[in-house]
Structure formats: C-alpha cells, structure tokens
Structure 1
Amino acid sequence: MTILRVPDNLPVNTTDLDLTFNNITILYNGDFLHLVNLRYLDVSFNPIHTVQSSSFNGLSSLLRLEFNGHVLNYSEASMPVDIFKPLHTLTNLSMRSDISRFYRSPLNDLPDIAFGSLTNLRHLNIDTGPRTVFKSGFSNLTKLRYLVLGDTVAHGTSFSCGLGTLTNETLKGLMKTQITYIQLNGCSLQTFQRDSLKYLTNLTDFIMQGASLMKGDLQNIFKALTVFQNKSMSTVSITNLQSDSIYIAVGSSVHLKTLCPICVSHIDLDSSDIIFLDLQGVPLFNCPLIKCMKSINLRHNRISFGGLSILSFFFVPFFSNLETVDISLQRKLSVDEALSVHHGGHVPSPILLPLFLPPKIKSLNIAGISSNAGPLWDIKFLNGTNVQFLNLSYSGFRDFNHTLIGLESLEIFDLSHNDMSITSKTFFDTFPNLKQLRLNCVQFDNGFILQHGKGLFGQLKKLENFDLSDNDLVFLPSDIFSSLVTLRVINLAFNNLITIPDLTSLGKLNFIDLSHNSFTTLGNNYRKMLDKTAEFNNGLNLSLLGNTFSCDCESTGFLIWLEETSVKLDGGNYSCMDITGQMSYTKTVQTKWKAFQRYCVSGFWLIVSMGGTSFVVVTLISAFIFIKNKMKLKLILLRMIGQNIYPKKRNEFLYDAYIIYTDSIISWVFNELRIELETSGKIKLNLRDRDHVPGGCLADDILEAVRDSWKVVLILTEDFLKSDLAYFTMCNCLSAITLTTPQRLIIVIDHQMRIPTNIDFLLEAVPQRNIITVDIEATHTHFNYSGLADIILYEETSQ
C-alpha cells in the first residue's frame, strides 16, 4: 500500500528514512519537524509537484537528500527561495527527473537563490535544460566539489542529461566553488565553447562518456581543457563520443600538443573515432602531460599505428610515470587487411631487436591492432622489469620460433587467436612468473604438443590459470601438467580430446573445462584420477557439456560414476547415444536403470552358463565368435532367453543408405555413384549436399541422417580424416551398429590413402565383407557397384 503524505508518527531517533515509490504529491510545512536526528532522506519516485517553504524544518542533522523522479518545475511556486535554509548540514543532494517534460517549456533557469542556502553542500546531481546557466546564487556553494549534470541512475531508473549548450557563461555562477569533478555523460551539446570550463579553477576530473557534439569534434574539447594548463588533473575521460560534424566520415585527429601543458594522470579516449595521433610540435623535454601520465586508454578507435613516424617511438622512454597502456581493438577501414592470409614458415631474425618501454609500465594491451602483424622477431624489451600484463591477442602474429626477453615479471600473457603452429620449444622459458596464460585458438600442431608439450610449459612454475581451448587438440601428453603444481584453472574446451592428462600432482586445481570435446565415455582410469584429485584438493569442478557420450552397456561404470562421484559436475546430465542408437540423455537412462541393467547383465550370465561344458574350448570359440560377430551373437543369445529382439528391416527407414563423403569427391559421388546405385539400382540415397538443409548444424545433420538410414556408407579419404568432424562422425557411425542393425556400417577406402593406426578401432568393428577398397580416380573401370548394392540391400535373417 502506498502512502499519500509523510507519516507523522515516526520515531524521534530515526536516522534513515526511505519513502520511495509512494504517491506523495506535496511536502507540507512541518512534515519532518520532529526528526532532528535524521541523516539520510530519500523521497524519490513520488509525484511531488510542490514543496512548501517550511517542509524541511527540523532536519538540522540531514547529510544526504535523494529527491529523484519528482515532477517539480523548479519555479518559485513549487520551490520557495527559503526551502533549503534548514538544511545547513546537507552535503549530498540529488534532484533528477524526466527531462522530456521540459520540451515545451525548457528548463533554463534553476532557482539559484534556493540552492544558494546549501553552504555545506559537497555533491550536487541536478537537472538541466538546453540552455541552463548557473547564476550567481550558486556561488554560495563554496564547499561544492562534485557536480553531476550527465546521465545518471537512481533505483534502477535512468535519467538523461538535458544540457544542450556549454557556453562561456554556463558555469560562471560556480566560480567560487571548489568543484574538482564534473560529469557530462550522455549530454547532447549543440555548443561547446573554448572558455566554458575556465570558472572551474580547481577541476581535476573531467568525465564525458557517451556524449555527442553537434559542431566540432574531440579537438574542440581538448581546446576547452587548455584553461587548465600548468595545472594538475587526475582524470580526463572522453569515451564513446559521437559527432555530427561533416568530418565524421574521416574521424578525429588528436594533437597532443594541445594537452601538453596540462599534468593529467589518467586519460581515457575509448571509442572516440580517433584516426591519428599527432605528436608534431610536442616539446619532448618540457611537456607536463608526458611526465605526469599514468594511464592512457585508446581502445576501440581507428588509429593506424603503422602510419606513425618512427620518431614517435623516441617519445616512449620519456613517459616516466606511465603504468597502463591500452591501444587494443583498432577498427581499420581496410578491406585488404581484413582479407589477408598468413603464409610462410620460420623467418629468422637478423638481429635481437631492442624495444624501449616506459620505465614504470605495468600493463600493455595491444590486442587486435592488426589482423596480420606477421612473423614475430627476437625482441629484447628494455625497461620491462615492471610489466605484469601483456595482451597480444587477435593481432595476426605468426612464427613464434623466436625469443622474447626482458619481461621476467610478466604475470598475465594473452596470445589468443594468433598462429602458433610454429613455436620454439623454449618460447615460454623467459616468463618464469606467469600466473595466467591464454592460448585460445592458436593453431597448435598436435604432434608438436604431444612431443614437446611438457617441456614447452614446464618452466611456468607459478602458473595458476591455463587456457588451451579451441585448438583442435586430440591428445595431450599425460604429464603435460605434472610440473605446473600451482594450477587452479585449466580450460581445454572446444578441442577434439579423447584423453585426459594426469591431474593428481595438481594440489591446488579447482576447475577443469573439458566441454565440447570428443569424449564418448570416461574410462575407469580417468574416473579414479578425477576422484583422487577431488579428494586431495577438497573439491574439483568439472565441465563436460557438449560431449556426446555412449549410453551402452560398456558405459555402465561411467553412468554410475556420474551419480556417485564427489567431483562437482556442470549439471550431470549429458547427451548420449542409447543402446538403440537413439539420442538420449544420461539422466534419462538413469531413470530406467533397472531395465537397462537387466538388458546388459542377461547376456553375461547366459554366456557363463553355456561355458560350463568345456571351459577351455568353449571359451576360445566363444571369444573368437564374440569378437567377430559381437552384435549378431548378442541378438541370438537374447532371443534364446525370450527377449523378442529382431533385426530392423529396410522398410523401417526413410533412406536405404546415407553416403558420407567430403567435398573433394563430390563429383564422383553425384556423377557416378548416385547414378549407379540410385538411378539404376533403385536404392534411395541420403546425400548431404542434396538432402540436408543448408546452414544447419553439421553434427546434428549427421546424427539425423544416421538415424534415418538403413545403412551408412563411410567413404574414407585423406580429406575426410583431416576434417573437423572426422572423429565425431566415426564415433557416431560405430554407435549406429546395434543389436537390431549389426551390419549397418559399410566402409569404402580410397586405395591411394595411407591408413593411419588411430582408426583401427573403426575397421575392427566392421565385418571384412563390409569393407571395400577402391581407386576412386579410376572408378569407372574398377569399382564394383553391384557388389556395393548387394551389401546395402543385405538383410539379417531373423533366425
């Protein structure tokens, strides 16, 4: 229930009073008369249109007044001149409202006499209109330090800046104040005159974020700041500046000579459409800006650093107090650079290139300053002993078979989205104090990591956070992390991993991300290792989302582990292929656990009972038969105990065969294979480029096509094994072989392909009859299409 006026029965000792979001329209005389101990009062978001002259009588101790969301029109009728006289202790006042209500009758004059009574005020957040001028009454606010005129938020509601002009007279009434901070965020200024800030003689912080200039650009604001030459300022923040100048298409140039006489500690020019830094005329030995600057942010502009004169780099050592530099993510308007492609191998450095840094620099972010920075050099950083953060990501660097020295104190290093396919085995040895290493999508060679992974990162004894995500890694050395005993977070997401490195030596490990890899199960050795790590570390968080697991009888241990492990999983419910070859979830299988267990256990006990007659002979024969005809044998045995499971028929599927191929043989598939099998042989085929909806998820398309097809014909070529989804496709082809479809997979091998050993698991699971070797380039004379058609049409008998 909302109240209509200030309650009159509040305790005398009340110190904080919140009356927000009620329906009070008038503050009456004496409403707060007895609240002499009140320190904080918030009457925001009431439709207050009138405040009577003695409304605040009694508030002799009030320090802060929040009066936002009102509907006062700032006239003497709504705000009498003596309204604030009782508030001689007030230090903070916020009076912001919806300025759109002033469009017909602009708010130009604030009641300066009324505000002039607040002689102890330090912080003022006030409404303004398009041509508001602070008149002489505000000169009584001699202790005022903070002035907020720009966009602000109160109780989750935004209030916009109404100021439309900043002339030489706008702030004149504030000349006797002690304002050190002014905020003009979001102001849309038609005018920004050069001497508009000259009356704020004590200003140290100029904040103007998300504002816009109808005339002029960034340089106009710099010229207005020249009134503070030979003075010190803490912060100049002009970010996301919008300009309606006719020169907007070419951006702004920043002439540092303009700001040179001002001693500014922190400069933030983020997203201000800067295209050029002009250092011409800057007095190198007599520039307070260069000597005082501690941080500079130029990110999200359009600066081309390649266009700077080489003389510019001689300025670097003179920034004697500079600690933080951010020049990242420069937006170039160059099509050629955006379309550039990296080429070439290792390029030796002719010399050890010296690179000067400011003597106190701690943080350097140059991410994304180029899309093709090219080969790295052997570099010696001078004055780099204090550098703790270095970001070179998204910059198109390649050929890391080089050495960077002079950054021994570096703690955070980001090389993400560069090309590290060529990397020196000792590249990271010169960064012994690294705590965070980000190597997301750096195109590591898997063979190189397998052979040199432990040595490559072995010297990072203090590493805590390690990101190796999105690198197409299939295997990692089991001991790659063994010497990194301080690791707390490991990110291996978005790879193709099927193994997990040893984690038992990582006593501080808290989280490992294995999401979106190629795991179909976690073997007993991995489960024990994860449990041991969780026990030793008093907890372990593990992410497995995005992997498609196998929910068959062989995965029973894994399914039980998901329910019982002490490892903290990311939900514990993962997609999987069930025993029928259908997509399901691990939780779904667990809810039908008894039926699943009966299904898996029955075959085992039947084999045990039959083996009693002749243990040795029957065991050997059974093993041989089971290995060669695993699915068929299971089917026969289950029928013997009354399980009515029969092979699926061809007419139960939408397609007769799903053909899996790569783009390199698409012509043969459509011009020969399709004609022989489909046109002549009347076999209905599922072809990716004809039957799948363009733009869909490739993994989902594969799963759906396997499910809808009677047989799956996998054409193994060199290009297929190099594809991103090769391992995923082979695993799902194997998952298609079930009790009801034991002869489902047919493999066609290109005669010219060298068969790698890591696909033995696939070939061993397919009967020899279903494996065909052919020279694809000479298929019109050598390929036995009728033989392939017979295999596709072959149906298991329900014997």
Structure 2
Amino acid sequence: MSFFINGNIFLYIVFILVHNGNGEECTKVKSDQYYSCEGRNLTYVPTSIPLFIEMLDFSFNFLPSLQKSTFPRLDYLKRLDLTRCHIQYIADDAFHNVRNVTTLILTGNPVSYIGPDGLNSLLKLHRLVLVNTGLHSLNIQLENLTELQELKAGTNNIQSIALPPFMINFNNFCLLDLHVNNISTIKLNQTSVLRGMRANITLILSRNPILHIEPGAFQGIYLEELNILGAFVSSAAKRDGLKALRGLKVGRLSIGNYNFKKTNAAANYLDGLCSMIFKEIYLLRIEKFVSEDMYTCLINATKITLNHCYITAMQHVPFPNLKELYIANSEEPIELEIYHLHSLEKLVVVENRPTLLKGLNYMPNLQHVDLSRNNLVFSQFDCCTQYFIGMPNLRSLNLSDNQNMYLSKNPFAGFSSIEILDVRFTRLGFLSRQFELFKNLKNLKYLDISYSSSNILRTMTFGHLSHLQVLKASGNHFQEDALNYVFVNLTALEILEISDCGILNIEARAFKGLTRLKHLFLSQNKLVVLDFVTHPYVKSLTMLNVERNTISSISNYVLQNLPKNLSVLDLSFNPFDCSCSQIAFISWITSHQHLIQQSNNLFCRQLTQGSKIRVLDYDIESCEHIRRLTIVLSICAVTVLSLGAVLTYKFQFYLRYGCILLRGYKVSRLQEFSYDAFVIYSSKDESWVMNELLENLENGIPPIQLCLHVRDFEVGKTITSNIIDEGIMGSRKIIVVVSQHFIESSWCRFEFEVAQSWLVMQGNANIIIIILEDVEEEKTKKVFGLHKHLKKNTYLKWSGNPLSKMRFWIRLRKAITTGN
C-alpha cells in the first residue's frame, strides 16, 4: 500500500491541483434517468446527481482512488461508465453505494490494485468491462458476482484463458472477450472451467499470437461462438491449431485475417475445419481458398459468410442445410450459379468484381436476394423473369447500384409474393408501356427507383400497388403534369420521396387519395410555395422535408393551416427573404424551432457576396422599433386631432415617449441636477435596492443621492412625467438594475427606452447597468436596445462573494461620481 502511494506521488499532486480547480456540473441526457459527467474535469462524484438515475457516464474525469465514500448512494443506478478516469486503486467496498449496478465500464484505467472485496459488493453485476486496464491474468476476486454474464478484458497482457475455479458456478455467464492479449498457448487444464459451465459461451480470441493449442483442449466443449480472426502467428500454426480443435462444437466460427498476408500459406491449412461441428462460419481474407476442397468441410453449415475471399464458383456442393449465404468483396470474378442450393432462404452477393449471373432458378425456399453493387447488366431479353424462376416465396429483391436493367413487357410476372423491390442507382430502360411495369407486384410494400434515370410519364401508374407503403423515386424526371396522375390509388402509402426531380410546383390533387401519407420528402427541387400542404389530402403528414428549394417566405395562411400532426419541418438552405416585410414569418421561425429541423441551417438570401446570415440571427429589433415608433406617432396624431384631452391621458405612455424621441429635450448641459443617479428597477427587487444599493451609496462617504420612484416621485403628478422630469432629467446618471423581474416589467422597459432615447439626444452615455441576476441572452432582446448595450458597454455584476462585493461598490461609486 505504501509502495503504491509513494510510487504515484506526482499523480496525487495533480489530483490536488485539479481538485482545487473548477469542475463542470453534470447534465441530463435524453431522460431524467441518464446523466452525463463526461470530460468535466471532476475529481469527485457530485452529490447533486438525482438519486433515481439509472445511467451515469463519468468517463474522462479524475478519480485515481476509489474508496467506499467515492460514490453517493444511488440505489437505482444500473450502468456506470468510468472510462479513462485515471483509476489506479480500488479499495474494498468501493462500490457499496452503487451496489445495484449491472454494467460497470473501467476501460482505459491503469488499475494496479483491486482490494479483495473491491468488486464483490456488486452482486447484481451482469457486464464487466476491463479493456486496456493492464491485467496480466483472469485471476480476479469476483467470487460474489454469480450473476455475471459478460467479461470483456481485451487489449491487456493476459497470457492464459484459464478462468478462476469459482466461475464454474456462474450459470448465466455467456461472453469472455480476450481480444488483443498475449495468449500464445492453450492447454487442456486451462479450459476445465469452460467445459464445466452450463451456459453457451462466446469466446473471443481475435488478434492473439497463438502458436500452439494442445490437442483435446476443446474436446466436448460447446461454444455459442468462437472468434479466432487474426489469432495465429502463421498459417502453419493455424493449420495445427485448427486440427487441435477436434471435437469442438460451436454455433458460429469466425476465422481468417484482418489483412492479407504476403506469405506462402501452409498446404491444406484449413483441413481442421472438417474435424469441428459448427452451424455458422464467417471467413475473412482466407489465403489460397480452394473452393472444392474447402466446401466439403462446410457441408453441414446453415450460414456461410465469405468476405474478401478468393472464390470463383459454388457449382458442385449441394449444401443440404444451408439457409443463408453471404459473398462480399470477392478477390476474383464470380460465376454465380447456385441453382442446386434448394434449402437457401437468404442470398447476399454484394460489392464484388464483375459478376456473371446465370440465374437463380427453382429455389422454392428463397425469400431474400441482395445482388447490389456488383456491376451487373440485366439484358433486355431476360429481365427480370428469366433471371428469377421458380421462387414462389421471394419477399425481398435488391438489384440496386448495378449498371443497366432493361424492363421488357411485364418484367415482374411471377413476382406476386415480393414485398420489397430496390433498384435505386441502376439505370432502367423501359422497353414497354409504363403502365404495365408493376401490375404483378400486388403485395409490394416498399419500392425504390431513385436515381434510375427514369422519365416518368402520366402512363407510369402505381395504381396496382394497393399495399405500397414506401415509394422512393428521387433523382428522376416527371414529364409535364405526370405528378398529378402517377400516385392515384396508393391508399396505403405512408412515405413518399420525390427529391431532386426538378419539380417547380405541386398541385393539391397530386396527393389525392393519399390519406395515410406521413413522411414527404421534396428536397432539392425548385419549389417556391407550399400551398399544397393546406389541403385535406395531406392532413396526416407528420414530417415534411423541403430543404434546398427556392422558397423565400411562407404566407401566414399556410403557416396557420399546416397539418395538425406535423412534428418535423425541414426548411434548410432555402434563400429566405430577411426584411421587415417578412417579420411575421421570421418571428414564426424563431418561435417554432421545436418544429423546424436544423433551424441553424436557415439562411437569408445573399444579395452580395459575403458571409451568410442565419434567419435566427436577423435583427428584428430595428423593425420592431420602426413599427413601434410609427404606431406611437399615429396614435399621437389621431389623439390630438380627434379625441383631445381624454385620449391624451389614456395614451400618455406612448405620447410622452414619442415626444422624447421627436424633441430630444434639448436642455442646457449646464443645468443643475437634483440627484446623482436615477434608479430604474422592478418593484419586486425593491428589497435589494433599499437594503444594499441605498444603504451603501446614500450612507457612504461621500453620500450619493439617489432618485427612487417609491420615495422621490412627486405626489399627484403622472408617472410618466415623474419618470422624465424627476428621474431622467433631474439626475446626472441613470442606474439600471437588470433582473428577470426587470425584463418582465412593462414600466421598467418603458423607463429604459425613454432614458436611452434621452441620452442619445443629449450625446451622453450615462447609463450604468447592474446585472442583479443572470438573464438568458434571448430574453434581453425583449427590452429594446438592452441586448446591444450589454454587448458594447461594460457593466457591473452583483455577486454574493464578500471580495466581489467590495470591488462592486468601489467601481459603482467611481462610475457615478466621474464624468458630468
């Protein structure tokens, strides 16, 4: 213990320095049950964290030592992430106050000591992550953790897969991850605990330098999965190691290399696969993959994945049990002729070099086919019925990202069971009348013909697709008025994508009958107006995407009649008109940011080259001020001419303000003032003004005479007259006490605007701002001129700190007594 402390004295000095620094508070993420303290420079777990949280991310902070008092009591905490917190020492019962945690992550901590009972209080722990923690063995004190299901100890220096004997009673244990360790030898006595466990274990040994496996080490063991990708030092070691796995039963076997090795592979180095029993096999970058020899070892597999392997064909092996076949990134051109795989249910052949497709014939169990990204060309004589014959249960067909696909008359005859058809980014050639194309796809639910170079005519009707729920046709061209006719009878349609189609205008009848339409994508078109969204045909819309069109504004009628269920509206990157004539639309955007997706991507139209201005940043205060001034002047004129004294009294607020702006009160600068400063404040902040401001200024040395409305305004005189005559004109300086109450007070806003206007007319800058409490920046914009004043001028901020108070009063006195 003393050695540990002495050896890390420097680390504890850093700990003390950080502890004296300022850590940031934790924040709620998504819900009340999930809090994040990630990277907050914290040296302790804040006690302010709610007791009921279920997930806590405390990663990238500084907790070199975990003691019993480190964590506050969090009885409901299930997931605790302590990634890279510099943890070196874990004392006994360190997790006593979080004993109900089921997932503990200690990744990247240089743990050098764990007490005998350091982890044993976590009786409900299911998942323990000790990746990159400096472990040398699996001999960890975990006796009490009988509920443990997963142990991840990758990227350490572990040399043996031997588990502690007590783990044989861990009945729910199912995952042991030992990737990137230093395991070179696996002996029979190291697997005794694995052999005795009841649960089906997943064992990950990838990227270990395995040199030797003792024959019989895995005899009689059943593993859910064995991952030995990149786990042998040579092909000879792999050959001998696979043979030593004789008698192993495994659900999924993953074997191969992460990179091709430019070495001569040992002859028949994969023969050992024939001595194992497995259901699924994943082969990655296998050297010298000889198909006929290898397939005999895979004969009983139900799922085969060949990724980056040297294969050419699969023509002679029946594979009686094979249900799923994946071939991706083949290093050789493939001749795909697999009509003999009668049990196959799913076929995925993607991203291969030029593939020769001779057809998928008479495969009655086949349900899913993915032939995307293979550079295929479907000729005009065969597509599509000649390529797919005798597959009555085919549900999904993906032919996207190929070269050309020529559609002859009735190309999908016999495809009545298909529910998903994807031909996006494959050029379609129409060799027949378009209204016949999809008439046999009566059960189709998903259709994607995006960017297929299609010229969609009025005759390309989707009317036969009464069950279609998703239609994607972006990147094509709708000829003339085809948009008004092609979607007829798609009564089940919920998602429609027709982006990047050059659409100028959409009439309401285009969506007639689409009563279930929820998501509509119209981005990258040339739309100017959105009048169609007010029609009852689209009343079910919940999401509308019209980004990158030519919309400059949206009328009030459209805004007021948007579909009631609309929850997402994307208007990004349209050239919006930012002017006073559009103040209603801009205000609507500001107040509906919860509805507008990516509101930060709304920009004003650029008339000249320069930086973009966001719509949210457009200064509408000037428009508001002009509008307010116009209203005030109009009211004054109407009042004087028509209603006289009665209306003058009623609207004195506006009249006096207008008079100040017009006349400017051109009073001599040499006049004598009755007060040193006039205080503008909310009556709800009166206690602070009387107990702090008045007490320290008027009773100080020298005394400073303040003008307070509650005390110094003349009785019987109107409030506006008192504000102007006694307060503003009778005082050398003006003190403004800004708080939440100040922002919400109409009289405070009036006093500040009048004072500001008066001082501008006089050419003085004698306003002193005191921030009594923090106010959100957005709320300061409610008071005309306040937001800009705070940005351009120095202000005082009240603080309860004694030292800060002293500086506050010195600076305030100086500001009042200096100048005119």
Q: Which category describes the TM-score, using the shorter chain as reference length?
A: 0.5 to 0.7
Contact 1:435 1:462 in 2 (8 A): yes
| Cα offsets for 1:692-717 (capped at 9, x unmatched) | xxxxxxxxxxxxxxxxxxxxxxxxxx
Distance 1:405 1:37, change over 3 A: same
- Alignment partner, residue 499 of structure 2: 469
Contact 1:109 / 1:132 at 8 angstroms: preserved in 2? yes
2-structure distance, mates of 1:279, 1:532: 60
Aligned position for 1:378:
410
Specify whether residues 465 and 427 from structure 1 end up closer, same or farther in structure 2 by C-alpha distance, changes over 3 A only.
same
Query: Which residue in the other structure is 1:543 paired with?
Result: 570
Match of 2:204 in 1: 149
| 2:68 equivalent in structure 1 | 7
User: How many matched pairs?
Assistant: 535
Q: Is 1:575 paired with 2:603?
A: yes
Determine if contact 1:390/1:412 at 8 Å carries over to the other structure. Answer: yes
1:740-793 alpha-carbon deviations (Å, 9 max, x no partner):
xxxxxxxxxxxxxxxxxxxxxxxxxxxxxxxxxxxxxxxxxxxxxxxxxxxxxx
Q: Could you tell me how far 1:209 is from its partner in structure 2? A: 9.2
Give the aligned partner of residue 209 of structure 2: 164
CA gap of 1:423–1:262, structure 2 versus 1, over 3 A, is farther
Structure 1 residues 430 and 171: CA distance shift in structure 2, 3 A? farther
From 225, 231, 249, the equivalent of 1:202 is 249
Q: Which runs of 5+ in 1 are unaligned?
A: 151-160, 602-799
Q: Following the alignment from structure 1 to structure 2, what is the Cα–Cα distance between the partners of residues 565 and 34?
A: 47
SS of aligned partner of 1:47: coil
Distance 2:247 2:471 in 1: 46
User: In structure 2, the residue corresponding to 1:203 is in which secondary structure?
Assistant: strand
CA shift at 1:111, angstroms?
4.5
TM-superposition CA deviations, 1:193-227 (whole Å, max 9, x none): 3835844643112346983453689x989865544
Determine the C-alpha separation between the residues in 2 that align with 1:126 and 1:184.
10
Aligned residue number for residue 281 of structure 1: 316
Matches within 5 A, 1:404-483: 404-421=438-455, 423=457, 425-442=459-476, 444-447=477-480, 450=481, 452-483=482-513
Given the alignment of the two structures, is residue 398 of structure 1 paired with residue 453 of structure 2, yes or no?
no
Deviations 1:299-321 (A, max 9, x none): 3x31433x24x3x522x524x1x
Contact in 2 for aligned 1:181/1:205 (Cα 8 Å): yes
Q: Offset of 1:437 from its aligned partner?
A: 1.0
| Greater alpha carbon shift after TM alignment, 359-368 vs 572-581 | 572-581
Q: Residue type matched to 2:349 in 1?
A: L
Give the Cα–Cα distance (whole angstroms) in 2 for the partners of residues 566 and 359 of structure 1.
50
TM-score, normalization by structure 1: 0.55
CA distance in 2, matches of 1:287, 1:581: 63
**Residue in structure 2 matched with residue 648 of structure 1 by the alignment:** none
Task: Choose which of 178, 181, 188 in structure 1 pairs with 2:225.
Answer: 181
Q: 1:171 to 1:256 in 2, by over 3 A?
A: closer
SS in 2 for 1:469: coil
Are 2:196 and 1:139 equivalent residues in the alignment? no
**Distance in structure 1 (CA, Å) of the matches to 2:594 and 2:101:** 51
The answer to whether structure 1 residue 324 and structure 2 residue 368 are counterparts is yes
TM-aligned CA deviation for residue 416 of structure 1: 1.2
Query: Could you report, residue by residue, the CA deviation over 1:55-104 in whole angstroms, capped at 9, with x for unpaired residues?
Result: 88899987665444432323xxx949xx66x45935435251534xx5xx
Structure 1 position 116, deviation (Å)? 7.3
Equivalent AA in structure 1 for residue 300 of structure 2 = I
Counterpart mapping for 1:727-766 below 5 A: none
Q: Answer whether contact 2:228 2:254 (CA < 8 A) is retained.
A: yes
- Residue 175 of structure 2 aligns to which amino acid in structure 1? H
Identify the residue that residue 805 of structure 2 maps to in structure 1: none
Aligned to 1:751: none
Is the partner of 2:550 in helix, strand or coil?
coil
- TM-aligned CA distance change 1:262 to 1:530, over 3 Å: farther
Q: CA RMSD in A?
A: 5.1
| C-alpha distance in structure 1 between counterparts of 2:579 and 2:244, whole Å | 75
Which residue type is aligned with residue 302 of structure 1? N
8 A Cα contact 1:357 1:384, kept in partner? no
CA spacing shift, 1:129–1:353, aligned 2, 3 Å: same
Paired with 1:223 and 1:491, the residues of 2 have a C-alpha distance of 54
Task: Specify the alignment match of 2:526 in structure 1.
Answer: 496
User: 1:509 is matched by which residue type in structure 2?
Assistant: L
Aligned letter for 1:575? F
- 1:324 deviates by 3.0
> Counterparts of 1:175 and 1:511 in 2: how far apart (Å)?
57
Q: Does 1:70 align with 2:125?
A: no
Which residue among 295, 309, 333 is the counterpart of 2:346? 295
Residue 361 of structure 1, CA deviation: 3.1
From 126, 134, 140, the counterpart of 2:178: 126
| Residue 485 (structure 1) aligns with | 515
Indicate conservation of the 8 Å contact 1:276/1:304, yes or no: no
The question of 1:533 aligning with 2:562 is answered yes
Distance in 2, Cα, partners of 1:532 & 1:15 = 46
Aligned mates of 2:188, 2:385 — CA distance in 1: 64
Q: How far 1:473 moved relative to its partner? A: 1.9
2:186 aligned partner, one-letter code: V
Q: Post-superposition shift, 1:237?
A: 4.2
Cα shift readout 1:331-379 (whole Å, capped 9, x = no counterpart): 79xxxx9xxxx9xxx98999976833644333322221x2333455531
Aligned to 1:261: 299
For 2:464, give the aligned amino acid. Answer: T
2: CA distance between counterparts of 1:267 and 1:459? 42
Q: 1:89 to 1:549 in 2, by over 3 A?
A: closer
What is the letter of the counterpart of residue 261 of structure 1? I
CA, structure 1 residues 90+138, in 2 after alignment: closer, same or farther (shift >3 Å)? farther
Counterpart of 1:283, as a letter, is P
Alpha carbons of structure 1 residues 460 and 38: separation in structure 2 relative to 1, 3 Å: closer
2:462 partner SS: helix
| Cα contact 2:100–2:124 (8 A) shared by 1 | yes
* 1:457 CA displacement: 1.1
> Aligned pair in 2 of structure 1 residues 404, 19: CA closer, same or farther (>3 Å)?
closer
Do the aligned residues in 2 keep the contact of 1:408 with 1:433 (CA within 8 Å)?
Answer: yes
Q: Distance in 1 between matches of 2:202 and 2:281?
A: 15
Number of the residue aligned with 2:643: none
Determine if contact 1:222/1:258 at 8 Å carries over to the other structure.
no
**Contact 1:381 1:404 survives alignment (8 Å):** no
Asked whether the equivalents of residues 197 and 225 of structure 1 are also in contact (C-alpha less than 8 Å), the reply is no
Q: Secondary structure at the residue paired with 2:369?
A: strand
1:304 aligned to which of 331, 343, 354: 354
In the alignment, the residues of structure 2 paired with residue 540 and residue 438 of structure 1 have an alpha-carbon distance, to the nearest angstrom, of: 21
For the residue of structure 1 that corresponds to 2:186, the secondary structure is coil
2-structure distance, mates of 1:33, 1:547: 54
Q: 1:190 aligns with which of 234, 245, 262?
A: 234
1:262 shift after superposition: 1.8
Counterpart amino acid of residue 464 in structure 1: E
CA–CA separation in structure 1 for the residues paired with 2:608 and 2:124: 77
Contact 2:191 2:218 in 1 (8 A): yes
Say if 1:365 and 1:455 are closer, same or farther in 2 by CA, change over 3 A: same
> Compared with structure 1, are the counterparts of its residues 51 and 415 closer, same or farther at alpha carbon in structure 2 (3 Å cutoff)?
same
Matched-pair contact (CA < 8 Å) for 1:471–1:495: yes
User: In the superposition, relative to structure 1, how do residues 554 and 55 fare at CA in structure 2: closer, same or farther (>3 Å)?
Assistant: closer
Would the alpha carbon gap of residues 382 and 116 (structure 1) be closer, same or farther in structure 2, given more than 3 Å must change?
Answer: same
Q: How far 1:418 moved relative to its partner?
A: 0.7
Cα gap change, 1:351/1:440 in structure 2, threshold over 3 Å: closer, same or farther? closer
Q: Displacement, 1:9? A: 11
Structure 2 distance, partners of 1:375, 1:470, is 23
Q: Distance in 2 between matches of 1:577 and 1:293?
A: 57
